[in-house]
Amino acid sequence: MSRPTLLLVHGAWHGSWCWEPLTAVLHADGWEVRTVDLPSAGREAGVQDDARVVLQEVARIDGPVVVVAHSYGGVPVTQAVAEAPNVVHIVYLAAYQLEVGENLLGRHGAPTPSNPDGFQAVPDQPVPLFYADAPTADAEAAAARLVPQSTRSFSETVTAAAWHTIPSTYVVCEQDQALPPQLQEELATRAGTVHRMASSHSPFLSMPGRFAALLTKIASEPAR
């Protein structure tokens, strides 16, 4: 069977640029890789807007697709790919594997704002939060590219949960300072398979070779 295409979906405040180190490793190994830019990073867009972008990109791909969702990216991926017949696996990388009716804020015990307009500013000290184990120059360069995130994307609820019908794998980042590992472990109970990495929130930047090896192993195995 031919290899699936890997579709990489970034998290909040980020863009497709964050995948560049990982993409370089995957391309060198012969993998076809696609990325998207979610409109909620930098624009007042919500989960449904992001989900449409993901679904449109999946529809452009011929053949099977493995979707890799990082952090907030798990929310629109969960929403979108329930409608995508060529998606064969979802990989949640320190990501929000939500159930129908849940939103990101709720998973942290935070209330849904009555007015979801506006933006969530780039967090203070993003380097230790997102890239604690990445080379300093790479971490600082990535932090400089972060943009405000739409509040609506954190407050909109999921109305479909693709992981009920599509096999999924959860990758727990055990040294994560952004999404607590305990919460990741709770979310990971919804996945068919769980892997763990001794990394901070962004192993695609801090250890792209090791994460690429894990990702290609997942994508090459029979779906569960």
Query: What pLDDT digit, counting tens, does each position of 202-218 carry?
Result: 999 999 999 999 999 99
- The pTM (predicted TM-score) of the whole model is 0.97
Whether the predicted pLDDT of 224 surpasses 70: no
Which of 21-30, 66-75, 107-116 is predicted least confidently? Answer: 107-116
Query: What pLDDT digit, counting tens, does each position of 40-64 carry?
Result: 999 999 999 999 999 999 999 999 9
Whether the predicted pLDDT of 84 surpasses 80: yes
Looking at every residue in the chain, the average pLDDT score rounds to 96
Give the model's confidence band at 114: pLDDT under 50 very low, under 70 low, under 90 confident, else very high: confident
Could you give the percent of the chain with pLDDT greater than 90? 94
Query: What pLDDT digit, counting tens, does each position of 130-155 carry?
Result: 999 999 999 999 999 999 999 999 99
Please give, one letter per residue, the 3-state secondary structure of the chain.
Answer: CCCCEEEEECCCCCCHHHHHHHHHHHHHCCCCEEECCCCCECCCCCHHHHHHHHHHHHHCCCCCEEEEEEHHHHHHHHHHHHHCCCEEEEEEECCCCCCCCCCHHHHCCCCCCCCCCCEECCCCCHHHHHCCCCCHHHHHHHHCCCCCEEHHHHHCCCCCCHHHCCCEEEEEECCCCCCCHHHHHHHHCCCCEEEEECCCCCHHHHCHHHHHHHHHHHHHCCCC
Give the model's confidence band at 222: pLDDT under 50 very low, under 70 low, under 90 confident, else very high: low
- Please state the domain extents for the chain: 5-220
| pLDDT confidence of residue 115 | 87
CATH topology for 5-220 is: Rossmann fold (3.40.50)
